[in-house]
Structure 1
Amino acid sequence: MLIMQLLRAIGFFHGNILLFCVTTGVGIFVSPKGVLKYSSLNIAVSLSIWAACAVLTMITALSLAEMGTTFPRSGAPYYFLKRSLGSSVAFLSLWIKLFTYPLGIATQSLIISTYLIQPFYTRCPAPELLKKCLALATLWSLGLLNARGVLTVAWFQTISILVKMAVLCFISFTGIVLIGIGKKENVARFEKAFDAELPGVSQIAEAFLQGLFAYSGTSVLINIAGEIKNPGENIPKSLITVLPTVAVIYVLVNISYLAVLTPQEIISTDAVAVTWMDKVIPSMQWVISFGISTSIVSNMCCTILSASRLFYTASQEGQLPLIFSMLNNYFSPTVAITQIIILASFLIISSDLINLIKYSGLATWVLRGLYMIGLLKLRYQEPNLPRPYKVHLPFVLGSIAISLFLILTPMIQSPTVAYIYGFIFIFSGLLCYWLHVHVNQHYVCFDKVTCYLQLLFNVSPPEDQDDGISTGEKHLEEIVL
């Protein structure tokens, strides 16, 4: 008999691969424009913000790790909020993620298609219809890959990381060589780095939102904690191993961009790496396009994995239909994956990338602030709860301070109507909570729809799981008699 549960199949090696792939995604190829723009084209400030973003990411990631190790189950952040701050706050986080995940995936799909097609249209823009068709094909292919299970995704990332590392290392080492040669045009802008205008406090906050977007995805291991072997040990170790490596690569890549391109050239393009390659080796532009596309594909794959586990856990907790928590023969929540792919397919439209990063970043830091408040509350209410990994209190307080700074500073310094719309959207989730959860009406037709979908997708309900409060040493077995 086969137990229908998510399997603990991800060890320390594959955990590092997943974390590295999801962190080094689209951000390093689009965020340099936003960071430099909001840094008032000040190179010294820009590079300092990239380094500071690495430190802030490490602080918040290690703080979030306590959730995944205390409650080692998939969708741990959602379950944690429900446990600490209540069902309404947990549903609010689900409401935000229900839109931000598909929106991010759709944007990444369009960026991939743009990078792949544009080299074939060097003298004119690529047709929009062709870009959208390729974006949809990429999106659904990754959906099918995720339906094959978490271990298949991990092996796919192991292969794609080779291409990603080749691209990032090539950009980094080329910049170092160009600076080492000492050509005047490559070194001049660094010599005058401190002469530029200093940005204001509001601009610095905006620049941080852009830079932190490049480090987004560090919660992937927390979201799939129920599928990680010995999460109490492997999650913190992976964060400490991978994030400093990513930080060094990001700083070197930005130095390389600035060694080849002027700040004005960087902020005038959405494809910084392609513009960089056009200056270095124009005939090899298609190589960098392919490498970047592969990098974004691996990032998308991990994002779909994380999002599906959130829907899976919300379904188990009764805040989404039961069908989302049912598993196929590969122990994967196929219906949850399909729902994400369908939503992202509808959202494959053009958008202002910098504003998208800004608003999705604000939503992310609202949630992280809530996580830290819940962490403090749970420490006070349940001090004896087994915690295999316990983050230092200054890290938690620092994460709350960072969240408040990034959320409030832009609104106070330069308030716009867009921020009001953003918060209206966030808190409209409370109305949906009241309508769909608090007013809990059951109709027989819903059971029939669930049965039909269960037959269509060939899925079964998972076995009952424990609360996930353990030291992380108890593993699920794949096969029983």
Structure 2
Amino acid sequence: MITKSGGEYPYLMEGFGPVLAYLYSWTTVIVLKPSGFAIIALSCAEYASTPFYPGCTPPQVITKCLAAACILIITVVNCLSVKLAFRVQNFFTAAKLLIIFVIVVSGIVLLAQGNTQNFEDSFTGASTSFGAIGLAFYNGLWAYDGWNQLNFITEELKNPYRNLPLAIIIGIPLVTVCYILVNIAYFSVMTPVELLQSPAVAVTFGDRVLYPLSWVVPLFVVFSTFGAANGSCFTAGRLTYAAGREGHVVRILSYISVKHLTPAPALMFNGILSIIYIIPGDINTLINFFSFAKWFFYGLTCAALIVMRFTRKELHRPVKIPIIIPIVVVIVSCYLVLAPIIDKPEIEYLYCTVFIVGGLLLYVPFIHFKFNWTRHIMRPLTMHLQLLLEVVPPEKIK
């Protein structure tokens, strides 16, 4: 219905106006996208370093340096060429599917041999509190996150009316089936405690099942996470570009490289923030912080779909779904946002809320009232960055 790039950003803009769209872009550009990039890069680095430290956890300094190198390489690739970024994505997606196939087949063989003891009394000792279930969903749903990534590049898709729904219909069930089967395979050789204690679960699985070819597993998992990080970087640049085009972030972030036709400033900005988030953060803290804000905006986006059923009746709707579906998603989003806070209030949630609302301190003077601050501060900075990066406004690209 809305064929604009930027994921939830244009949907919130059309449904609720510029304020909520700005708060989304503010939160996502500054925190959510770079922190997601950092999380995946840290996962990639853990799997890359674990084989070199058998029997112990790799030093944090090694993991974080590898993660920073991963972010740097991916950012450079995406700045150089859109086609190169797509080729990287295709290669690493193929590698991901290959290792998933190997793990799933190995798991099926083990289950056929009778290794089912870890599935007996599976929920013994599990917590079923109101908030604990919400936190469990945070971590589980984060693993599936990415189902909305194509919506960040809608303007670059050929025939989005056909290809976007088709990709979603094929992609989400495929990912769901693969993920569940891989986890079943893990439980065929590891107990829940062993899974929790393992710094890299696939490496442990490979050591027990595929020896002496166990080195194949961490290698392909590195490929998999590297590809996921590449996809995160690619879409983050498009959101920042779309927000800059609307004037919700500094204009330089919407500029395009003259040589490579990529949103280089937006990609570099996202990469720099991601490296900063690597320095103090650990994966679990980042996931919880990421999921709390993410599902807040997911709920708002589906609420926008409901609102536009009544406020934008004239829009062409190439894909129609029963309104009960977005209503259910809004209810689930409210639960995922509120349940952990009610059950176990923590200061991180307050920080997150203050940060989101704090974006209004910039929106009111500089965007709503259009306070002219560019003449003395941003204009010379933009000029120097244009010369350094060889970028121009998107309307100058023909």
The TM-score with structure 2 as length reference comes to 0.92
Query: Identity of paired residues, percent?
Result: 33
What is the CA–CA distance in structure 1 between the aligned matches of 2:132 and 2:57, rounded to whole Å?
Answer: 32
Tell me, what secondary structure is at the counterpart of 1:408?
helix
Residue 391 of structure 1 deviates from its aligned partner by: 2.8
Counterparts of 2:345 and 2:58 in 1: how far apart (Å)? 36
Alignment partners' CA distance in 2, 1:194 and 1:78: 39
Deviates more, 1:117-126 or 1:406-415: 117-126
Structure 2: how far apart are the matches of 1:147 and 1:286?
32
1-structure distance, mates of 2:25, 2:196 = 34
Secondary structure in structure 1 of the residue aligned to 2:359: helix
Query: 2: distance between equivalents of 1:86 and 1:247?
Result: 34
Matched with 1:14 is none
Deviation digits for residues 180-211 of structure 1 (CA, Å, limit 9, x no counterpart) = 012xxx21232434666562332222221111
- In structure 2, what is the equivalent of residue 337 of structure 1? 267
- Structure 1 Cα separation of the partners of residues 273 and 343 of structure 2: 35
| C-alpha distance in 2 between matches for 1:191 and 1:82 | 49
Pick from 196, 212, 222 the counterpart of residue 267 of structure 1. Answer: 196
Query: CA-to-partner distance for each residue in 1:96-126, whole Å, 9 max, x for gaps?
Result: 2121211221232232222212212325554
**Quick check: 2:7–2:149 contact (8 Å CA) kept in 1?**
no
The answer to whether the aligner puts 1:144 opposite 2:73 as a matched pair is no
Give the counterpart of 2:334 among 404, 407, 417: 404
Q: Larger relative CO (CA 8 A, sep 6+): 1 or 2?
A: 1
What SS is found at the alignment partner of 1:347? helix
Report the secondary structure of 2:372's partner residue: coil
Asked if structure 2 preserves the Cα contact closer than 8 Å seen for 1:233 and 1:389, the reply is no
- CA–CA distance in 2 between the matches of 1:443 and 1:375? 36
Instruction: Give, as a single letter, the amino acid of the residue that structure 2 aligns with 1:73.
Output: K
2:118·2:190 contact (CA, 8 Å) conserved in 1?
no
Residue identity in the other structure for 1:341: G
Identify the match of residue 209 of structure 1 among 91, 113, 138.
Answer: 138
- Give the secondary structure class of the aligned counterpart of 1:160: helix
Runs of 4+ in structure 1 deviating by more than 4 angstroms, as ranges, are: 194-198
Q: Which of 425, 441, 445 in structure 1 is aligned with 2:372?
A: 441
The structure-2 alpha-carbon separation of the partners of 1:291 and 1:435, relative to structure 1 and needing over 3 Å to count, comes to farther
Where 1:300 maps in the other structure, the secondary structure is: helix
1:243 maps to 2:175:
no
Corresponding residue of 2:96: 164
Matched, 1:279 2:211: no
Residue 132 (str. 1) matches residue 67 (str. 2):
no
The separation in 2 between residues aligned to 1:207 and 1:123, in whole angstroms, is: 28
Conserved? CA contact 1:175–1:259, under 8 Å: yes
Deviates more, 1:391-400 or 1:274-283: 274-283
User: Does the C-alpha gap of structure 1 residues 193 and 119 become closer, same or farther in structure 2, counting only changes over 3 Å?
Assistant: closer
- The answer for the alignment partner of 1:72 in structure 2 is 3
Distance 1:200 1:226, change over 3 A: same
User: Which stretch of structure 1 is more off in the superposition, 234-243 or 416-425?
Assistant: 416-425
1:297 shift after superposition = 0.8
Could you tell me how far 1:371 is from its partner in structure 2? 0.7
**Once structures 1 and 2 are overlaid, which stretch shifts more, 196-205 or 313-322?**
196-205
Could you tell me how far 1:409 is from its partner in structure 2? 1.8
Task: Give the CA RMSD over aligned residues.
Answer: 2.1
Alignment-derived partner of residue 320 in structure 1: 249
Partner of 2:41: 109
Code of the aligned partner of 2:201: V
Q: More deviation in 351-360 or 186-195?
A: 186-195
Going from structure 1 to structure 2, the CA distance change for 1:207 and 1:123 (only over 3 Å counts) comes to closer
Partner of 2:318: 388
1-side partners of 2:367 and 2:85: how far apart? 33
The CA deviation string for residues 74-107 of structure 1, in whole angstroms up to 9 with x for no partner, is 2142122122212211111012212121122123
Taking the TM superposition and a 5 Å limit, the aligned residue runs for 1:180-195 are 180-182=112-114, 186-193=115-122
Question: SS at the partner of 1:463?
Answer: helix
CA distance in 2, matches of 1:222, 1:306: 9
Give the letter for the 1:78 counterpart: Y
* Contact residue 102 and residue 341 of structure 1 kept, 8 A: yes
User: CA 1:436–1:276 in 2, change beyond 3 Å: closer, same or farther?
Assistant: farther
Contact 1:326 1:333 in 2 (8 A): yes
Stretch moving more, 99-108 or 173-182: 99-108
Partners of 2:147 and 2:298 lie apart in 1 by: 12
Does residue 384 of structure 2 align to residue 452 of structure 1? yes
Does the Cα contact within 8 Å between 1:119 and 1:285 map onto a contact in 2? no
Tell me which of 136, 140, 151 is aligned to 1:222: 151
Q: Kindly tell me: are residues 432 and 169 of structure 1, through their superposed partners in 2, closer, same or farther at Cα, counting changes over 3 Å?
A: same
CA distance in 2, matches of 1:199, 1:170: 34
8 Å Cα contact 2:42-2:283 kept in structure 1: no
TM-score relative to the length of structure 1: 0.77
| One-letter identity of the residue aligned with 1:337 | L
> Which runs of no fewer than 5 residues in structure 1 stay unpaired?
1-69, 465-477
Tell me the CA shift for residue 152 of structure 1: 2.4
Q: Work out whether 1:100 is the aligned partner of 2:29.
A: no
Structure 1 residue corresponding to 2:22, chosen from 86, 91, 114 = 91
Q: Deviations over 1:300-357 (max 9, x none)?
A: 1111111111111111111112211111233211111111111112222253322322
Task: Give the direction of change, closer, same or farther, for the CA distance of 1:205–1:127 in structure 2 (3 Å limit).
Answer: closer
* Distance apart, 1:396 and its partner CA: 1.0
Q: Is the 8 A contact 1:223 1:309 kept in 2?
A: yes
- In the alignment, structure 2 segments of 5+ residues that lack a partner are none
| Cα contact 1:74–1:313 (8 A) shared by 2 | yes
| Letter in structure 1 aligned against 2:360 | L
Q: Equivalent residue for 1:153?
A: 85
User: Does the 8 Å CA contact 1:108/1:300 hold for their aligned counterparts?
Assistant: yes
